[in-house]
Amino acid sequence: MKPATRIRSKDKTATFYDRIADVHNLALKLNGYKDSVTKFLKSLKLDIGPDSMVLDAGSGTGVVTFAFHEAGFRPKKTVAFDLSRNSLKLARGQARKEKKVDHKAISHVQGNVLSLPFADESFDVVLSCGVLEYVPLDDGLRESARVLKKGGRLVLLPVKPSLVGSVLELLYNFKIHPLDDVRKISQRYFNIVGNHKFPVAEPIAWSKTIFLLEKK
């Protein structure tokens, strides 16, 4: 993708999510998305302590950020990072209402996941849910690896090829990456330490899977 094309694509995506932020957030609440992610995150033994830094890259309206906190993790700081200004505004307001979320430990930053405004090896954990579908997979994974400390974890929730995934691909104008490509390209920067499948009874299982990756 050429630089000019990336800029136009970025502007189009930001405008789209600015427009649908409220509806998108409501849909995620109604389908039990956050509860599914929370249960999974609780099962992980992530090395998160009072000095840990966490990045939610492509945080949207904050669902995964909140799930991370509700799972009991209390890092020093969680950076919620997204392209959509309206999504971040909504997330900021919602964080103050979430009883199990330490909103004072969350900062909201607008920007592009292909050019994260953070130094190399800044974070202990990066969360990435449904965002790399908007960018070249290698570029997105390489940038996530750059800001992770050696041995740090990337919790990656890609959209998987499925009937629901195909519908979402049309509605949200993104490109699903084949899971074989996710596995292959991930291993350029990470060791794959887990590939979780949500229980089929949970709606999130119809469109998402999870890879737990450790930076080499």
Q: What is the pLDDT of residues 96-126, one digit of tens each?
A: 998 889 999 999 999 999 999 999 999 999 9
37 token code pair: 């992610």
Closest by alpha carbon to 35, among 61, 78, 71, 4? 71
- Count of structural domains, the chain: 1
| Bridge partners for 194 per DSSP | 212
pTM of the model: 0.91
Provide the 3-class DSSP secondary structure of residue 31: coil
How is residue 66 annotated by DSSP? Answer: H
Q: For 122-164, how does the pLDDT look when each residue is reduced to its tens digit (9 = 90+)?
A: 999 999 999 999 999 999 999 999 999 999 999 999 999 999 9
Q: Specify the DSSP element, H or E, that contains 160.
A: none
Closest by alpha carbon to 67, among 42, 92, 85? 42
**DSSP sequence for 74-127:** --SEEEEEES-HHHHHHHHHHHTT-TT--GGGEEEEE--TTS-SS-TT-EEEEE
Domain carrying residue 171: 3-215
Q: What is the CATH number of the domain that holds 122?
A: 3.40.50.150
